[in-house]
Structure formats: structure tokens, C-alpha cells
Chains A and B, each alone.
Chain A
Amino acid sequence: MAVHGRGATGDGAGAVDGDRDAAGADPAGNGQRPEKAITVAALTKNYGEIEAVRGIDFEVPVGETFGFLGPNGAGKSTTIKILCTLARPTTGSARVAGHDVTTERDAVRRNIGLVFQDTTLDNYLSGAQNLRFHADLYGVPSAAVGPRMRQVMEMVGLWDRRDSLVMTYSGGMRRRLEIARGLLHAPRVLFLDEPTVGLDPQTRTSIWEYINELKSREDITIFLTTHYMDEAEHCDRIAIIDHGKIVAIDTPEALKASVGKDRVQIHTADDAAAIAELGREFGIEAGIHEGAVTFSVPAGEEFVPRLFAGLSVPIKAVSVSRPSLDDVFMSYTGNTIRDAEATGADAMRQMVAHFRGRR
């Protein structure tokens, strides 16, 4: 019950931002909570000839959800490995939760939670046994293990299944258990490497519900990698990484705004007349796409009232869509994320075709 009491205090403090930091101050005496959860400076990593990461810099403030967006092989996983102390940087430095990832590896490890792309659960143990193992390995105080275990398992909806062997869990349940385990020791930074890869759309949505709930409930910084555009939108800020370099870093809104124009589609009584009038009255070049008159303008919503006022052709329907992160990725790298990933596969396919052709 004493633990519950502490939980209640933490919750109370969580309502006020200033108190929140005080409550989060490290009681183990590892120094004051740093302003930045992650600081990366001029980081590079070479594997032999291959330059996986080619000089990246960024900072993640405490409490932020920060996303690394890029195609497979862009250097996302290498960066996360360095931040988790699993790989050493070739040059440059990185600090996580106020500790250097090369010289203070244990201190970093105590303060981070990890959910890897590939499962790292023991299928022959029950869900609860997997968590118990983790708690003992991370030295979670014995009195807190029981309540904390229940809390994280209830959060991901697995408390009822705690005594079932992990081998009987579905893919989504395993990922949820891993997220629960990553949170068990109340890390200050949670790393999620492709948290939804290989899951069906419904499970992906539910995983994101858990992550969003987590953001509101726990005093935590989340660093995640993804190559799904729609998922990157859940982040407070995004870094777009391509070929081992960060090409853009900002909030999803700002990144989309930087592309500049919204897409407007109208259905009219006379499309040809509408296109002609748009060119004459507004100086806009429009075309017919997907069966509708389509054009791009900055600040689409503000343009629509002017359109209604100025266009003599009757408008039957209108839609305004923001640029997607796909458009953003495209505008920064000159490639869609799928194209970037397909290059490797294409090369392989061409090679196979080549060999087939020779036979």
C-alpha cells in the first residue's frame, strides 16, 4: 500500500509540469535530471567500408516523443544500437538521460527501456515470469515488483494472461508484453525500434493507443524508429534520415508546412469551364485527377471561401488535404519512402532476371 501511496503522489505531481520534474528527479543520486533526454553530436558509425551513420546531430528534450523516419538501411537501427550502448560509435558522442553511451554504459542502461524489432522474450516462460526475470535483472526494489508488474501488464491488457506461456501469445500480445517489460523498471527514455513492424493494421492501431496512453501516463521520453509515414504523425518531432544523414528535423506539422501547398479538389457542374476560370481569375493551374478538378495552393482552407465567392461555375463538392509526410519525404529526398526501399529489391530482381535470361 505504501507503494500505491507513492504512486498517488507521482500522479498528483504529474498534473503540474514544474512539479513533475521535481518528482522525476533521480532519487539514486545520479545527479540532476538533465534538460535533454538525448544529445547526439557528430555521430558516425562505420562497419568496415560501409558508412551506416554519416555524422548526425540532434537533441531530444525530456518528455518528447521523437521519431526517426527513414527507409530500411538508412541508419535508424544503427543509431538506436549506439544510443542503447549495444554498439560503439566510430566517432562523435551521444548522451542518454545525462550519461555518455560509451563511458557510462551501465548508467545509461539503468535509465532506458528497450523494445527491439525482433522479439527478445523467453517463449518457455509465462508473461509474468518474463517480467519477473527483467525486474530481478534490473534490480527493481522487491517491494515494488508486484504492484509495478500488475500496473504495466494491466496497461497493455495482459494481466489476465500473465500465467500463460509466451509461446501461446499472438504477435500483437508479444509486442505488448515487450512494451510492458521495457517500462517495468520505469526508464526515463524508452526506445522503440519499429514497434509495429510485422503486425496487422488493427494490432498496429492498438499498439499506438498504448503508446499514446503511455505518453500521458508516464513521465517518459520516447525515441522510436519507423518507416510507416502514418505512424510518424504520432510523434512530437521527427527526424527524416536517409543514407545515414538527417535531411530534415521538425514537428510533423512544420515539416508538412515546409512543403508549402495543400491539395484542393473540387467537383463542379462544368469542369472545363472551372479550369479555365481558375486560370483566369486566380492564376492557378488546375488539372483533372481522380475525376476531380485538382490544384495546389498554400493554406487551402483559407482559399476555399475565396473560391466560392470568385468562381461562377457551381461547386458541388470540395475537399482540402494537407500534404502527407510522404510528400515531405519526397520533397527532401527526391524519392518516396517506398521507392527508396525498392531500390535494393529492384537491384536483386534485375540480377535474378539477368541470370534467368542467360539460361
Chain B
Amino acid sequence: MATTGTTDTEAAVTAADTAALVGQIRVAVPEHNLRSDLRAVSIVWRRELIRFRRDRLRAVTSLIQPLLFLLVLGTGLSSLAQGSLPPGVSFKAFIYPGVLAMSVLFTAIFSAASIVWDREFGFLREMLVAPVSRSAIVIGKILGGATIATFQGVIVLALAGLADVPYDPILLITLVGELLLLAFTLTAFGVMMAARITQFQAFMALTQMLVMPLFFLSGALYPLTGLPAWLSILTRLDPLTYVVGPMRHAVFSHLNLSEAAMQAMSPSITWAGWQVPILLSLGIVAVMGLVMMGVAIVTFSRPE
């Protein structure tokens, strides 16, 4: 280093830079433990958010369907529904919880589809050969998808005024919590399916086939009382029912309705006459989500 002209500091910097360029920076990859697994969960989760932020078009297009239901169907059918609704309740307010659920439904399933996408474009392999437990990757994926889906739900939540639903802080917080739970379970469902279905076309076809029945059977568009037995049973099997019910309860308890109107508009979900408490109803959804996440982890953990 015959750098006679340079000062000491400059020489030191040059030496360090040269060392960094020429010498290798020693990295010892530690054995994986809870901390490294959490770091893996976090980076998989962050990747989903980065990609979502880049994809503004997707955020806009996923808004169209909920808005169609809320504004077009909601307005169009309101004259028909007017007679059976108590004063002060609009049909739009009635279907609003269902529309919220719908926006989460589409986004959550689409987020899960990114696993199939990653498989086709090879990125899944980068994740699967890493020295982290597969559960970290699956959990990161599900949490990422759930965050995005909730975010999408929050955008629709911001439009509450269009549906004659008040911007009450407690109501909003309750709804966000319920949307998060729903988003988690639906993404877990999507990821569980994506673990088995390896072709993008097949995945989209199958989920398209499932999404509409899930939505229509959830009581998003009609009350769950007085239904024929077959439909009544089907609605009770739909996991979406157990979130739409509590969300509608939350919305209607902020509309200053009489006890009778409340009963008529937002009846509790019943199993053979037994009223399912709201917390149990949400608990069912949470357990379903956890079970599906477990299945997804087991499926991904099997070696090729």
C-alpha cells in the first residue's frame, strides 16, 4: 500500500474497502431455532406485502365486485326489500357485512394462489430448500395473505357511509377484528388447497367453483330464518356464516333498532333451535383456520 499521498483515514478506508472486496465476509449460518423461524415467517410475510404494494391494479380490481354488490344489487333490490325491512334500515346496510366478507374472500383466495404461482415460476423451490422449518414458510404465507385480505376489507369498510352504516370507532374495530379472523381462515383454506394443486389453471377453476357457493350460503344476502331444511343445513356448514352473522350483529347493534327489529334482522345462528353464542361462532372459524393451517404444514413438509 504505497499510498504516500493519502492521509491516514483515507488509507484506512481504502484498506477496509479492499478487504471487503477481496476477502470474504465470513458468515456462519446458525442452526435453526425459534428466532430464525420467526425471522423466516416475517420475511415471507413482508414479501407478500411488498408484492401487494407493487400491484395497485389488483387492489382496484378486487374492489369492483364488492362495489357491484353493494351499490348496484343493493340499490336495485332495495325497493323490493323495503316492505320487509324495519324503518331506519336500508337493504344496503343489511348486505353490507356480506359485502365486507366477500371482499376478504376474493383477496384471501387470490393470495393463496400466489403459492401455485411461485411453484410455477420456481420461487417456491428457493423457499423449500432453505434451512427453515416448512411451518415457518406456511405460516408466513398465511399471515401475509390474511394481512392483505384484511387490508382490502378495510378499504370496503371505509365506504361504510355508502351503505348507511355509521363510522363508530367500536363498530369499526370489531369489524376489523372479525375480518382479520375471516381472512386468516380463508387464506389457510387457500394455502391448504395450493399445497396439493400444482397447476395454476386447476387451482383457479377449483376456487372459482367454491367461492360463489361459500358466499351465497353465508346468509350475506338473506336472513337465515325461515329457510327450507336443506338450505338451512347448507348455510350452517358454510364457515363464512359464522363470521357474517357476528358482523351483522355488530352493524345492527349500532343502528338504534328496537329489540324486535334486531331479532328479525340479525337473528342468532341456531343449531336445531340452540342459539350459538357469538364468541363460539368466531371460535369455530378460528379452529377451522388452525386445522387447515396444520394440514397445509403437513402437506408441505413431505419430501419430494
Contacts and interface: CB of A to CB of B under 8 A. Distances in A.
B129 A129 contact: no
Contacts, number: 154
Contacts of A107: 31, 131
B170 interface: no
A137 B43 contact: yes
Interface string B224-239: 0000000000000000
B22 A3 contact: no
A58 to B, nearest CB: 22
Nearest to B55: A124
A139 B39 contact: yes
A87 interface: yes
Interface string A44-65: 0000000000000000000000
Interface stretch (A108-116, A195-203, A289-297, A325-333): A108-116
- A23, A141, A219, most chain B CB atoms within 10 A: A141
Interface residues of B, number: 42
A137 B127 contact: yes
Contact of A151 (B20, B28, B32, B303): B20
A86 B39 contact: no
Most chain A CB within 10 A, of B15, B20, B50, B132, is at B20
Given A4-B16, A7-B24, A185 B29 contact: yes
A109 B22 contact: no
Interface in A218-243: 218-219
Interface stretch (A8-16, A69-77, A298-306): A8-16
B20 A124 contact: no
A265 interface: no
B121 A7 contact: no
Nearest to B19: A8
B24 A10 contact: yes
Given A1-B16, A119-B122, A137-B40, A125 B47 contact: yes
Contacts of A118: 122
A86 B129 contact: yes
Interface string A174-195: 0000000000111000000000
Contact of A4 (B19, B127, B129): B19
State the main secondary structure of chain B at its contact with A. helix
A120 B19 CA distance: 31
Interface residues of A, number: 59
B23 interface: yes
B130 A109 contact: yes
A8 B27 contact: no
Contact of B23 (A10, A85, A110, A136): A10
Interface string B19-48: 111111111111110001001101110010
B54 A124 contact: yes
A139 B36 contact: yes
Given A5-B16, A86-B128, 4 more contacts: A7-B19, A88-B304, A118-B122, A122-B121
Interface of B: 15-17, 19-32, 36, 39-40, 42-44, 47, 50-51, 54-55, 118, 121-123, 125-132, 303-304
20 contacts: A1-B16, A4-B17, A7-B26, A10-B23, A86-B125, A86-B129, A87-B303, A106-B32, A107-B131, A120-B123, A122-B51, A124-B50, A132-B43, A137-B43, A137-B130, A138-B130, A139-B40, A141-B30, A186-B25, A186-B28
